[in-house]
Amino acid sequence: EAGVTQFPSHSVIEKGQTVTLRCDPISGHDNLYWYRRVMGKEIKFLLHFVKESKQDESGMPNNRFLAERTGGTYSTLKVQPAELEDSGVYFCASSQEATSFRGYTFGSGTRLTVV
């Protein structure tokens, strides 16, 4: 079974530019989550999709972040315009059941550096 795939693995962009991160969940997993780890901080929840619907986006830091999951398959997270404080590692996770955290499978993350 293929795992959760994220790309790019690394991205370096200048402040003010736009970046789009992509996550391909495990096939059949309706639940898709985005998390972020900023340097020196803990991993924090950003949002949760059930199929193509946003179930909970309470963790999104501001309106420069836009997440989509068209067709309920892969998801993208766009940052526009990027700021220095957006640097960090962005993780995606997927699961079959919404509350089965044991079934969470994380991707390897995208390391975003804004300079």
Partner 1 sequence: EDQVTQSPEALRLQEGESSSLNCSYTVSGLRGLFWYRQDPGKGPEFLFTLYSAGEEKEKERLKATLTKKESFLHITAPKPEDSATYLCAVPNQAGTALIFGKGTTLSVSS
Which residues contact partner 1 (rule: CB under 8 A)? 4, 9, 33, 35, 40-45, 48, 55-56, 59, 91, 93, 98-99, 101-102, 104, 106-109
Residue closer to partner 1 by CB (options 74, 104) is 104
Do residues 67 and 54 make contact, with C-beta atoms less than 8 angstroms apart?
yes
Q: How far is the CB of 26 from partner 1 (least distance, A)?
A: 12
Residue closer to partner 1 by CB (options 16, 98) is 98
Give the separation between CA 99 and CA 87, rounded to whole angstroms: 29
Q: In angstroms, how far apart are the furthest CA atoms of the chain?
A: 38
Q: How far is the CB of 108 from partner 1 (least distance, A)?
A: 5
Closest among 104, 115, 113 to 26, alpha carbons compared = 104
Q: How far is the CB of 50 from partner 1 (least distance, A)?
A: 10
Residue closer to partner 1 by CB (options 17, 38) is 38
Give the separation between CA 61 and CA 54, rounded to whole angstroms: 15
